[in-house]
Structure formats: structure tokens, C-alpha cells
Chain A
Amino acid sequence: MIVVVDYGRGNLFSLGQAVRQLGAEPVISDDPAMLARAERIIFPGVGAFGDAMAGLRERGLVDPLRAAARAGTPILGICVGCQLLLTRGEEFGLHEGLDLISGTVARLPDPQADDPDGARIPNVGWRPLDVREAAPMVGVLQPDDWMYFVHSYAPMVDDENDIAATTRINGADIPVAIARGSIVGVQFHPEKSGPAGLRLLARFLETENGS
């Protein structure tokens, strides 16, 4: 059973459709019991970090998500879902995250005043990924895939080894795919990234442990 976590923070229609397009029938749910039974969990999210975390708390989903992670259930966090995997977030004040991968969700660097190629924040649009060769989820990510981003914050993990892919924004290599064990997070939107995004989702659904 594939569970898409519904905590009132996102457009789940497209994500559900993407999973269906790949031949699976997702269960879109906010039921903690469903998370305990899930074989794979997709954890989306849009909006602000603190508000999204509040949405999880209201529905009693924080401990069930942590328990599923401990049990080794493959989890794919998307956008704010990816950010919530980290220890803390700095958007609109400091907020506690799920702390499944240690790190801080921090604001993207602003462009240098004299940089003609400077990227405006929020970062909206398509970018190629720099996939790390030794990355834990190299089977899920592929170099040369372009993905769709819309964000102002990024998952700055503490341990370099948790970085699966980066993209270069305003002179810095920003982590945009992270992974530790069976937990994977992507800052971009695979469900909005055309055929390349669907391939990534397919690999997450197919691989033995999701990574």
C-alpha cells in the first residue's frame, strides 16, 4: 500500500494522478493507522515550514511518521515535505521539524548585486540536477534530468553524505535531493516535472527499499 500523507497542505490531486499514471493506486490519508501499514509513504507539502509542521501535529501524524521511518518504511518527502524531514526550519522564526535527517531548512542565498546570472528568490522554474555519484539514491535520481522548483528555502543537511543531488543557485551548490537510509527528500516537484519527474516517482515505487 502506497500512502500519500494528507495533512491539508498541498495539491494532492496531481501527485495522486502521477502515482495512478504509474499503475499504482495511492491511498490519500491522514490516518496514523494507515501510515503504520504503509509499504511506501509519499509525504508532500506546500506553504511555510512552521505552518506545515502545525498541520502534522493537529492530525497527530508526527509520531506515526517517525515510527514509520524507524521501521524502515521508504519515505519520499516532496518540497515542504522534504524540508520537514530535517531537524529545524528557519522560515518565519525557528521551528522544530521531524528530525529524521539532521540539518536546517535555510533561506536560499540572494543574488550578488553585480551578477547578471543571479537567480531571483523565490526560485521558480526548471533546473538540471547535479547528482552525486556515491549518492544513496542514485538509482532514483538521474543526472541530466531537469526538475521543476518553486521554493525560497532549502534543506541544508549537516552531513555531506546525506546529499544526493544539488543545483547551483547564486554561487552555491544547494542540496535539492537528500537521503538517509530509506528516507528520501526532494525539494523539487517530480509530479510537475514532466516525464523525468514521473520516472523518478516510478523508481521510488519500484526499488526494493526506495533508495
Chain B
Amino acid sequence: MPAPRLIARLDIKGPNVIKGIHLEGLRIVGQPGPMARRYYDDGVDEIIYMDTVASLYGRNNILPVVEDAARDIFVPLTVGGGIRSIDDIVAALRAGADKVAINTAAIARPDFLREAAQTFGSQCIVLSVEAKRRGEDRWEALTDNGRERTGVDVLNWVAEAERLGAGEILVTSVDAEGTRRGFDHDLFRAVRASVRVPVIGSGGAGEAADVVAAVVDDDLDAVACASLFHYEQCPPQTLKAHMAEAGIPVRPEAAA
């Protein structure tokens, strides 16, 4: 196994990084530039930028943020929120993104995933799923940052997305998101069992033990953290130290 990846997730609204609960009730927690640099210096393995209002307003204002980050942050950058067309992907990659995360546009037209993967390679295409629990082992995929119901079953959808060419799955539990009460581990395990491509878990981590469990027990390839880092409860290096203690291989801090 490569070292499980520790990803900082920045939910962006306009010029700010925001944080909500259940993807709602947004509150400003800082500015994307300084926050991303702090996390990079502290050893995060990747950064995900999620435009929380792009689908709502049908526009992309996140690209200048990404372009600024790509000037001096040299880890993989993923951009999500409002990616609707091949042109949107081209623009994101030109701004310095390595991957794009697609949710709403893929649910509306699954073939968009196939076209995107064929044009840019699967390594570039992350399927983002916002999962709302609807039963013991059943979750519904939501779109538009948790605002819209789709009736689509998450486990069927991730398997279909893999078949269409998605190279990774980013799964966010809408129920746990922002609560800091721990991950929806049932969801993570169910998604893990449904696909072979790497799975990134997100939504709900409140302490290092949650991340350790997602990697060790749920067999996830990566975890995306927001609150854990934003409120400086458990900065990336502290989290990595906890992971190393639990016997998980982690990328050592590399001196600049």
C-alpha cells in the first residue's frame, strides 16, 4: 500500500473558506491562501477545493484561488463544485489543478464521466458523492452541496461511476459532515466494498482516532479533513503522529 493520504478539504464560498454542519449553516473560518499554505507546510498530502455555491449560481469563481495555490504549493490539488463540461475541466487544469471532483453534472448525465475520463485519463476524474443515510445499509446521493435529492442509490452509483471511468471516489457523509462526532464508518465500508478504485472518506472526523479507524478498519486510501484542521484541534503533523503510532505508514515531514 502507498501511505494513506491525508487531505485538507477547503470548502470555498466567494473569497472565504467556510465550514458548515451537514453542508449547511455556513461559517467563515479563514482565507484559502494562508490556510492552504499552512497545511502544505505542515505536511498534508493533497488539497481539495470545493466550491460550495458553484452549482447554485452556475458559475466558477474558485479558479483564481487554485491558481494562487498552485504557485507555491507542490502537492496534488483537486477542484470540485460546478464542474459541468469538458471546458470546465480544461480551465481547472490550466489553473493548476491535477484532478477535478464531479458530482451534480455526473448524476445529471453519467456519460459525462466517461467523456471526461477518456479525454483527461481516469487519474484526473474524481467522483464526488454526497451521501444521505436512508436506511441501515442504504444511502441516497444528494447534489448541489447537499441541497437536492436525486433518488440515486449511493452504492449502485459509485460502482457505475467506476465503470464509466472515475479514477477515485470522494464520499462525504451529509449526516456526519461538520458534526465532529465521527465518520459514518458503515458508509465508508460499503463504498469500499463496492469499488476497486481509491476511496477518499470525508465528513465528521472529530479526533485522530476517527481517521485511524477509517484507514485501518474501513480500508480507505485517503481521508479528507476540514474541521479537524481548521479549528487547529489536530493539525496535520499531529494527526500523522497519531497515525504512525497506530502503525500506519505516513509520509515523513520533508524539510524545505
Q: Taking the nearest CB of chain A, how far is it from the CB of B26, in angstroms?
A: 30
Whether B231 sits at the interface, judged by CB under 8 Å, is: no
Q: How far is the CB of A177 from chain B (nearest CB, A)?
A: 16
With A13-B94, A13-B95, A146-B254 already in contact, the answer to whether A197 and B2 are too (CB < 8 A) is: no
Given A17-B96, A195-B254, A126 contacting B120 (CB threshold 8 A): no
Given contacts A13-B93, A126-B251, 6 further A-B contacts (CB under 8 A): A47-B120, A126-B5, A146-B252, A192-B74, A195-B256, A197-B74
Complexed CA–CA distance, A159 and B123 (Å): 29
Any chain B CB within 8 A of the CB of A127? yes
Closest Cβ of chain B: how far from A57's Cβ, in Å?
A: 19
Residue of A with least CB distance to B121 = A47
Query: Could you tell me which residues of chain A, from 101 to 129, have a CB within 8 Å of some CB in chain B?
Result: 117-120, 122-127
A166 interfacial by beta-carbon distance below 8 Å? no
B51-75 interface mask toward A, CB cutoff 8 Å, 1 = contact, 0 = none?
Answer: 0000000000000000100111011
- Do B2 and A17 touch (CB < 8 A)? no
Interface size on B, residues (CB 8 A): 39
**Nearest B-chain residue to A124, judged by Cβ:** B198
Cβ-based interface call for B218 (8 A): no
Q: Roughly how many angstroms separate A122 CA and B5 CA in the complex, as a whole number?
A: 14
Chain B residues with CB under 8 A of A21: 72, 74
Restricting to A165-211, which residues have a CB under 8 Å from any CB of B? 189, 191-198
A194 neighbours in B (Cβ, 8 Å): 40, 43, 74-75, 254
Chain A residues near B222 (CB, 8 Å)? 125
Q: Mark A121-150, 1 if CB is under 8 A from B, else 0.
A: 011111100000000000000001110111
Q: How far is the CB of A152 from chain B (nearest CB, A)?
A: 8
With A11-B93, A17-B72, A148-B76 in contact, is A123–B2 under 8 Å at CB? yes
Q: What residue of chain B has the Cβ atom nearest to residue A48's Cβ? A: B121
Q: Could you list 21 examples of A-B contacts with CB < 8 Å? A: A11-B97, A11-B98, A13-B93, A14-B74, A21-B74, A48-B121, A120-B221, A122-B122, A122-B197, A124-B221, A125-B1, A125-B3, A146-B254, A148-B45, A148-B75, A149-B2, A192-B74, A192-B98, A194-B43, A195-B255, A197-B74
Chain B residues near A78 (CB, 8 Å)?
none
In Å, the complex CA distance between A123 and B221 comes to 10
Q: Which of A13, A46, A126 has the most CB of B within 10 A?
A: A126
With both beta carbons as reference points, the residue of chain B lying nearest to A47 in the complex is identified as B121
Tally of contact residues, A, Cβ under 8 A: 35
Majority secondary structure, B binding face: loop
Residues of chain B contacted by A149 (CB below 8 angstroms): 2
Q: Across the interface, which residues of A come within 8 angstroms of B122, CB to CB?
A: 122
Check B11 for interface membership: any CB of A closer than 8 A: no
Asked if A18 is an interface residue, CB under 8 A from chain B, the answer is yes
Q: Are A124 and B123 in contact (CB under 8 A)?
A: yes
Is B184 in the interface zone, CB < 8 Å from A? Answer: no
Name A's interface SS.
mixed
Q: Given A46-B121, A46-B123, A195-B255, do A125 and B221 touch, yes or no (CB 8 Å)? A: yes
Lowest 9 CB-CB distances: which A-B pairs, in order?
Answer: A125-B2, A195-B254, A13-B96, A47-B121, A126-B251, A146-B251, A196-B254, A195-B256, A150-B123
Interchain CB contact under 8 A, B96 and A11: yes
On whether the beta carbons of B74 and A198 are closer than 8 Å, the reply is: yes
A192→B94 CA distance, assembly (Å)? 15
CB neighbours of B4 from chain A (8 A)? 125
Bound form: Cα–Cα A127–B251 in Å: 8
B2 touches A122 (CB 8 A): no
In the assembled complex, the CB of A77 is this many whole angstroms from the nearest CB of chain B, namely: 17
Nearest to B198 among chain A residues (CB) is A124
The reply to whether A119 and B254 form a contact with Cβ atoms under 8 Å apart is: no
* Residue B168 interfacial (CB < 8 Å): yes
Q: B167 near A: Cβ within 8 Å?
A: yes
**Residue B187 at the A interface, CB < 8 A?**
no
* Known A-B contacts A46-B121, A120-B221, A146-B3; A13 and B254 likewise in contact (beta carbons under 8 Å): no
- In the assembled complex, the CB of B39 is this many whole angstroms from the nearest CB of chain A, namely 12
Chain B residues numbered 2-17 whose CB sits less than 8 Å from any CB in chain A? 2-5
Q: How far is the CA of A210 from the CA of B98 in the complex (A)?
A: 27
